[in-house]
Amino acid sequence: MFFSNSLENQLQRWNETIRNQPKNPNAYIRRGMVNFQLAKIDESIQDFDIAEQLDGSIKPYLWQRGLSYYYAERFAEGAEQFEIDLTVNAQDVEETVWRYLCIARSLGVEEARNSLLTVKNDPRRIMQRVYDLYAGDCTPDDVLTVGLEGIKGNFYSHLYLGLYYEVENNADLAQDYIVKAVDNYKIDDYMWNLAQVHKTLRGWF
């Protein structure tokens, strides 16, 4: 309950900021992130859209909107957002993996794997291994082994295995991994909030 109330308080603060600064794109991005964490997906997209309208140069940095598109099942728009993001952040495995997930949900896993964009220098070992999994070059156990290096590694290994199994239509394993990511490996990170939203939207308790 505290978690939800804290987000509601944040939402009220950003509402107030926007009333005072209606042309501040960052305020809309921050409110959009809070709306997403409250599982208000459509509202979050509206906020990110307003931010882009106020400052068109931020479009390649709106990775948060790509995540919201995924949960709104607007997969083509999500894939496009992540592809644009990669033009300014070419070494981030998460951008190309989320593009993969959007394509897999709309066009199938084979198409997603065939169009997986190359990322070589993400400094996070766990994300390098996640990339290998999505590329078909390692096993889920390989991902879990690297993830054992710490709570963040455990979180990311479980989250991205859960997402991997969801697009493979293995709902039981998807649920198992994402619920564990949320319940066992809580970290102060937007992606942990995403995992919580995923669990909420799927009704996994």
Instruction: Report CA-CA distances (Å) from 22 to 16, 17, 19, 37, 47.
Output: 10, 8, 6, 22, 12
Please tell me the pTM assigned to this model.
0.95
* pLDDT value, residue 1: 40
Residue holding tokens 């997403």?
Answer: 36
* pLDDT value, residue 91: 87
pLDDT, the chain, mean:
95
- Identify whether the C-beta of residue 158 lies closer than 8 Å to the C-beta of residue 146: no
Q: What is the mean pLDDT of residues 175-184?
A: 98
Q: pLDDT tens across 103-141, in order?
A: 999 999 999 999 999 998 899 999 999 999 999 999 999
pLDDT at 144 over 90: yes
Pick the range with the lowest mean pLDDT from 13-22, 88-97, 156-165, 177-186: 88-97
Measure the CA–CA gap between 120 and 123, rounded to whole angstroms.
9
pLDDT at 3 over 80: no
Measure the CA–CA gap between 131 and 156, rounded to whole angstroms.
12
- Identify whether the C-beta of residue 132 lies closer than 8 Å to the C-beta of residue 145: no
Q: pLDDT tens across 36-80, in order?
A: 999 999 999 999 999 999 999 999 999 999 999 999 999 999 999
The distance of Cα 99 from the centroid of its chain, to the nearest Å, equals: 10
- Identify whether the C-beta of residue 86 lies closer than 8 Å to the C-beta of residue 55: no
pLDDT at 2 over 90: no
Q: What is the mean pLDDT of residues 83-108?
A: 95
38 contacts: CB under 8 Å, gap ≥ 6: 4, 7, 8, 11
